[in-house]
Structure 1
Amino acid sequence: MKRICEVKEITAEIIVYRYSQEKTMNYFKAKVGRLATPSVCEMSSTVVRQLAKDGLMDDGKEDLLGPARIKAACEMLSQYLSSDMYTTLLASYDFDALHAHIQSIQAERAVFAEDSAPAPKAKRGKTQTQNGEAAEKKRKAPAKGSNGVEKLKKVNVQGMSKISSFFQKPK
C-alpha cells in the first residue's frame, strides 16, 4: 500500500492511506523499467518473436529497440491494469519513432502482399462441349441410405400387415 498511496500516521495505532495517482504511475514505470531490461525481456519468446517480426532485432535498430521493449513491457503489464490506467501509462512514454517505423513496415508488407497476391480469377460461365452446346452443371448423386434402411428395402413384405393396422380400433 505504501508504494501506491500517501501514508499519514495519526497515532502509533492509526495509519491512514490515501490513493495517489502519481505514486501509482511511478510504481508502474519502475515495473516497466524492470520488465524492459534485455535480460528479462529476452526470457519471453513471444516478445522476442514480436520484436523480430517488426524488424527491430536487426543491426542498426538499437535506438528503436529500447522503446519497443518498453512498449512490450507495458503490454505485459496491461493484463493486470484497467484500460484507463494502461492508456495513462502509455501516454507517459514517447513512442512516435517506433510507431512511424511500424507503420512503414506495415505499408511495405501491404505493397508486397498486393504484388504477390494472385490475380482474381474471372467467374466461369457455362462451359461448352465440343459440339458448342452449353454443358449442364454437375449435380451431386443422391445420398445413399444407412445400412439398416438398405437391408429393409430387401425384405419381402408380401402378406404382412401394415404397422398402422395395429393402431386402428378393432371392427
Structure 2
Amino acid sequence: MRRVCEAKDITPEISVYRYSSPKFLEYLKSKVERLRRPDTFEISRTLVRNLAKDGLMEDGKEALLQAGRLKAACELVSQYLSKNLYEELLSSYDFTALDAYQEELRNEHASAAAANMSAIEAKESKSSVNEVAENGKKRKGPVKGSHGVEKLKKANTKGMSKLSSFFQKAS
C-alpha cells in the first residue's frame, strides 16, 4: 500500500492511506523499467520476435530498439491497467521516433501490397478481356454444389416410406 498511496501514521497501531496517482505512476514506471531490461525482456521469445518483425533487432537501430522494448513493456503492464492509466503511462514516455519508424514501415508495406494487387488485377483483367473476345459473351461455368449436397444426391431412397408416415397414427 505504501508504494502507491500516501501513508500517515496516526498512532503506532493506526495507519491511514490515501491513493496517490503520481506515486502509482512512479511505481508503474519502476515495473516497466524492470521489464524492459534486456536480461528480463529476452526471456520472452514472443516479445523478441515482435521486435524482430518490425526490424528493430538489426544493427544501427539501438535507440529504436530501446524505445521498442520500453513500449512493449508498457503494453505488457497495460494488460492489468485501465485504459486511462495505460494512456497516462504512455504519455509519460517519448515514442515519437519509434512511431515515425513504424508509420514509415506501414507505408512501405502498404505500397508493396498495392503494387502487388495492381499486378494481379492487371493479369486478371487481361484474362477476362481475352475470354470475352473469344466467346463474344462472358458465361459462367457450371455451378457445383457443396460436398455434402453431392453426397445427399447419391442417397438411395427407393423402398423407404415417406417421413410424414412416421408421424401418422398407427392403424
Q: Which has the higher helix share?
A: 2
Tell me the residue number matched to 1:108: 108
Q: Distance in 2 between matches of 1:134 and 1:98?
A: 51
Match status 1:83 vs 2:87: no
Give ranges in structure 1 of 5+ residues lacking alignment.
156-162
Q: Distance in 2 between matches of 1:34 and 1:6?
A: 23
Q: CA offsets per residue over residues 8-42 of structure 1, 9 Å max, x none?
A: 00011111000000100000000000000011111
Tell me the residue number matched to 1:160: none
Q: Which amino acid aligns with 2:37?
A: T
Q: 1:116 offset after TM fit, Å?
A: 2.6
Tell me the residue number matched to 1:138: 142
Q: Distance in 1 between matches of 2:85 and 2:2?
A: 19
State TM-score, norm by structure 2. 0.78
Residue 56 of structure 1 aligns to a residue whose secondary structure is: coil
Q: CA offsets per residue over residues 81-106 of structure 1, 9 Å max, x none?
A: 01010000000000000000111111
Tell me the residue number matched to 1:152: 159
Q: Which amino acid aligns with 1:94?
A: D
Q: Distance in 1 between matches of 2:68 and 2:115?
A: 29
Match status 1:69 vs 2:69: yes
What's the Cα RMSD here?
3.1
Residues 1:71 and 1:152: Cα distance change in structure 2 (over 3 Å): same
> How many aligned residue pairs are there?
156
Q: 1:140 offset after TM fit, Å?
A: 4.0
Residue 152 of structure 1 aligns to a residue whose secondary structure is: coil
Q: Which amino acid aligns with 1:107?
A: N
Q: 1:134 offset after TM fit, Å?
A: 7.7
Tell me the residue number matched to 2:120: 119
Tell me the residue number matched to 1:158: none
Give ranges in structure 2 of 5+ residues lacking alignment.
none
Q: Which has the larger radius of gyration?
A: 1
Residues 1:58 and 1:13: Cα distance change in structure 2 (over 3 Å): same
Q: Distance in 1 between matches of 2:136 and 2:41?
A: 68
Residue 11 of structure 2 aligns to a residue whose secondary structure is: coil
Tell me the residue number matched to 1:21: 21
State TM-score, norm by structure 1. 0.78
Residues 1:167 and 1:90: Cα distance change in structure 2 (over 3 Å): closer
